[in-house]
Amino acid sequence: MVEAKNLFMKYGKGRQLALDNVNFFIDRGEFVFFVGSSGAGKSTLLKLIIRELKPTDGVLKVFNRDVGRLPRHRLPYLRRNIGMVFQDFRLMEERSVYDNVAFAMTVIGSSRREIKRRVPHVLNLVGLQDKAKAKITDLSGGEQQRVGLARAIANRPAMIIADEPTGNLDPGTALDIMNLLRSINLRGTTVLVATHNRDIVDRFKKRVIYLENGRLVADEQKGIYTHVH
C-alpha cells in the first residue's frame, strides 16, 4: 500500500534534511501511527504520500506506483483513493454538513443519485445523521471533525490519512474520533495517523512508526508512544 525505500527530503536553500533515509512498508488494511515531536518529519511524509511534495531522493510507492514519478494527470486518480482528515478541519463554513460531504463527491464526478444515497449513509456512520442541514459554524469542534471524517470516506478511499486529527479536540472527543477511525479501519480501509497524542497511541496499541529529526528510529507492532521514546 505504501512503501518507502531510502527516502530523503531536503528543504530550502540550506537543504535541511526533513527526511533522512527512511524505509518502511505498510500493507493494505493496516492502522499505523506516525509519532514524533514537531519537525520530526511526520507532516512531510504525509505530503509526499499525497504528492503535495516530491522526494529529493529514494522511492515512495503508493498503491504500487512511484509517486515521485507520477505524471500530473494521474494525480487526481491517486488522491481520489486517499481520504484526508486535517487538524484544522478545512470545511466550507457557510455551507451545511450535507453540502460539505456532497462536495467531495461532486468533485470526482459522482452522480446526483449516488450522492443522495451515499451522503446520508456516511453521516450515519459518523453519528451526524441528525445534523445534515446544520451549518458548519453551528457545530462543536468534535462534530466538525466528524464532518471531516465523513467527507474523507465519502468516496470509499482505499486509505485515510489523518494529520493531527485530534489536535484541537478535548480528550473525550479525541477518543470518539479515534474510535471512528478504528471502525473505518475494521471495514478494510488503511488508516495512517500522524499525532502527538501519547494517550491515544498508548491506548490503541497499533503499529507505531517513530520519527526523530527526519529519521525512522523505531517501528513497533502494537507499540506505545512511551516505549519508543
Other residues' Cβ atoms within 10 Å of the Cβ of residue 140: 11
102-121 residue pLDDT tens? 999 999 889 999 999 999 99
Residue 102 lies in a domain: yes
* pTM of the complete model: 0.93
Residue with grid cell 463554513, as numbered in its chain:
93
Residue 152 lies in a domain: yes
Other residues' Cβ atoms within 10 Å of the Cβ of residue 164: 19
- Asked whether the predicted pLDDT for residue 12 surpasses 80, the reply is no
189-203 residue pLDDT tens? 999 999 988 899 999
Q: Could you tell me if 78 and 50 are in contact, meaning their C-beta atoms sit under 8 angstroms apart?
A: yes
Residue 105 lies in a domain: yes
Averaged pLDDT for residues 1-10: 96
Q: What share of the chain is helix, strand, coil (3-state, %, to 5)?
A: 40, 30, 30
d(CA 144, CA 59) in angstroms, rounded, equals 35
Q: Which residues contact 130 (CB under 8 A, 6 or more apart)?
A: none
- Alpha-carbon torsion 165, 157, 68, 6, what sign? positive
pLDDT at residue 226, as a whole number? 65
Residue 107 lies in a domain: yes
Q: What is the overall mean pLDDT for the chain?
A: 93
Residue 150 lies in a domain: yes
The boundaries of the domain holding residue 149 are 91-156
Q: Could you tell me if 63 and 229 are in contact, meaning their C-beta atoms sit under 8 angstroms apart?
A: no
* Number of domains comprising the chain: 1
- DSSP 8-state class, residue 42: H
Averaged pLDDT for residues 45-71: 95
- Asked whether the predicted pLDDT for residue 154 surpasses 70, the reply is yes
Residue 131 lies in a domain: yes
Q: Maximum distance among all alpha carbons in the chain?
A: 52
